[in-house]
Amino acid sequence: MIFNFMKDHRRQFPIEKMAQVFDVSRCGYYKYLRSGLSKRKTENAELLKMIKAVHKRSKGAYGSPKIHDALKQNGNVCSRKRVARIMQVNQIKSTRRKSWKRTARGSSDDNSAPNLLQQNFAVDAKNLVWVADITYIWTQAGWVYLAVVLDLFSRKIVGFSLSYHCDTGLIIRALEQAICHRMPDNGLIHHSDRGSQYRSQEFKEFTIRD
């Protein structure tokens, strides 16, 4: 307890003075410090082995947050910063690569609506032309897909939808949200990329009618 107190207050009081007050030797204090450092070094070595094992089981995909979670689940109590520091010193990092994700596939049939927009991006008022597209975003949880509907006049997003799956529902939810928020009149043109993997005419380009 005395040596621990001396360690905690070494910036406030000289070691020699505290050793005299507590009637202990400076050699004993420095031996205590060395034993503490050795214990920490031993613990870090054991922790490094466990980190390497988890990293290997994940085939190199895990970074420090997931490795820390795995160690915690196995009953190993340590801070995430400590895990990250040991991994950094030993050059252990996630090797997962952000692979390219294909969001569109060209259609070889003629089941597509006519191009009513004809590259005419000059619009006089809101809710006359909406354009839609899909993109993908990398997150810590993996790839997520984002479908958006944009009003060509205001250049504002009027509807969007996020999903882990690039499917028809993703597009429908974005369009339904836009319609719910804007309540467009008859005659609205909804235009999307012809390369979309969804070949249905209603998802290419349409006009709202009675």
pLDDT at 36: 65
pTM over the 0.85 mark: no
The values of phi and psi at residue 114, to 5°, are: -65, 150
CA 116 to chain centre: 38
Which of 11-25, 34-48, 160-174 is predicted least confidently?
34-48
Run of H or E including 5: helix 2-8
pLDDT at 185: 82
Q: Provide the number of structural domains found in the chain.
A: 2
My answer on whether 189 and 106 are in the same domain is yes
My answer on whether 155 and 103 are in the same domain is yes
CA–CA separation, 151 vs 157, rounded Å? 6
My answer on whether 106 and 16 are in the same domain is no
pLDDT at 136: 86
The answer to whether the CB of 71 falls within 8 A of the CB of 84 is no
CA–CA separation, 156 vs 143, rounded Å? 24
Q: Write down the residue that tokens 């905690």 correspond to.
A: 8
The predicted-structure confidence for 55-108, as pLDDT tens digits, reads as follows 988 888 888 888 999 888 888 878 889 999 999 989 898 876 555 555 555 444
The predicted-structure confidence for 177-188, as pLDDT tens digits, reads as follows 999 988 888 878
pLDDT at 189: 83
Run of H or E including 45: helix 26-57
The angle that helices 15-22 and 26-57 make with each other, rounded to 10 degrees, is 110
My answer on whether 102 and 77 are in the same domain is no
My answer on whether 112 and 175 are in the same domain is yes
My answer on whether 208 and 121 are in the same domain is yes
My answer on whether 42 and 106 are in the same domain is no
Q: Which domain holds residue 35?
A: 2-89
How many other C-beta atoms lie within 10 A of the C-beta of residue 81? 10
CATH number at residue 158: 3.30.420
DSSP-derived secondary structure for 52-103: HHHHHHTTT---HHHHHHHHHHTT----HHHHHHHHHHTT------------
pLDDT at 87: 92
My answer on whether 123 and 143 are in the same domain is yes
**Among candidate residues 53, 70, 89, the one where a domain is terminated:** 89
> Taking the C-alpha atoms of 110, 115, 116 and 120 in order, what is their torsion angle to the nearest 10 degrees?
180
The predicted-structure confidence for 112-123, as pLDDT tens digits, reads as follows 666 766 676 777
My answer on whether 110 and 75 are in the same domain is no
User: Above 80 in pLDDT, residue 126?
Assistant: yes
Mean pLDDT (whole number) for 127-154? 86
**Among candidate residues 64, 89, 114, the one where a domain is terminated:** 89
My answer on whether 104 and 30 are in the same domain is no
My answer on whether 36 and 83 are in the same domain is yes
Which of 94-108, 143-157, 194-208 is predicted least confidently?
194-208
Angstrom distances, CA of residue 143 to CA of 97, 100, 165, 166, 207: 12, 10, 9, 10, 32
pLDDT at 149: 92
User: Above 70 in pLDDT, residue 152?
Assistant: yes
Q: Give the confidence band of 160 by pLDDT, cuts at 50, 70, 90.
A: very high
CA–CA separation, 84 vs 47, rounded Å? 11
My answer on whether 85 and 117 are in the same domain is no
